[in-house]
Copies of this chain bind each other. A is one copy, B any other.
Amino acid sequence: MKALIPYKKKNAKSRLSPALTLEEREDFVELMLRDVISSLKEAGIDEIDVLTTPDNGVPKDLDVNVVLSEHDLNEAINAYLEQENKPIFIIMADLPLVRAKHIEDIVSRMEDVVIVPGKGGGTNVIFIKDPSNYYVKYYGSSFLNHCNIAKDRGCSVFIYDSFMLSTDIDEPHDLVEIMLHGHGNSQKYVNERFDMKTGKARAKINAAGDA
């Protein structure tokens, strides 16, 4: 079994810009990547490929393979799947709430494909037993795409239901989920920078230092 993590550091997460500067965002995505990798290793997945472009840096101390591609996400992953024969666990780098238990539960499923939906029809994790009989189609309602591709290919599917894995960190209000449910590097980073202000409505993120 192998894990594949698509990763982009350069000018990452522009929707977080109301809360974090460009430099902070680039630091932060690397910390989230570290937390994802740490949970994968804790779950016993040691063979980890990080898919990125030549102008994005992956820190040398991470003990992962770096796979470089200049193609778009779908083309790059599909080229990767075509030449692979081990089961592949594809996880996005912006899922710092993932824990080893989630990964163990997903990879122990009997179905051919396990899909973990994100908010708004996204696919946050997909576990593919036989990569030669599957391809990915991210963007748009990729959750529906991935269900349909499985059906076309005669693959059995399990939908794995997790709030923690549905929570990709895209917008300032997502940072509160890291405070509440996170761990590791990313939680330390967010806790150092933000206060959690509670009121009658949902918890809001306020930049530390703002009155």
Contact = CB atoms under 8 A, between A and B. Distances in A.
Interface of A: 102, 117, 119-122, 139-141, 143-144, 161-166, 173, 176-177, 180-181, 196, 198-200, 202-204
Nearest to A179: B121
A205 to B, nearest CB: 10
19 contacts: A102-B161, A117-B163, A117-B180, A117-B181, A120-B173, A120-B177, A120-B202, A121-B176, A121-B203, A139-B200, A140-B198, A140-B199, A140-B203, A141-B180, A141-B203, A161-B163, A162-B162, A163-B163, A163-B166
B163 A202 contact: no
Contact of A176 (B120, B173, B198): B120
B203 A120 contact: yes
Contacts of A102: 161
Contacts of A140: 198-200, 203
Contacts of A199: 140
A167 to B, nearest CB: 8
Given A120-B173, A121-B198, 20 more contacts: A102-B161, A117-B163, A117-B180, A117-B181, A119-B163, A120-B176, A120-B177, A120-B204, A121-B180, A121-B196, A122-B202, A140-B199, A140-B200, A140-B203, A143-B180, A144-B180, A144-B198, A161-B162, A161-B163, A163-B166
Contacts of A177: 119-120
A85 to B, nearest CB: 31
B166 A196 contact: no
A164 to B, nearest CB: 5
A202 B119 contact: yes
A123 B84 CA distance: 42
Most interface-central of A117, A200, A203 (chain B CB within 10 A): A203
Nearest to A139: B200
Nearest to A196: B141
A138 to B, nearest CB: 10
A198 B117 contact: no
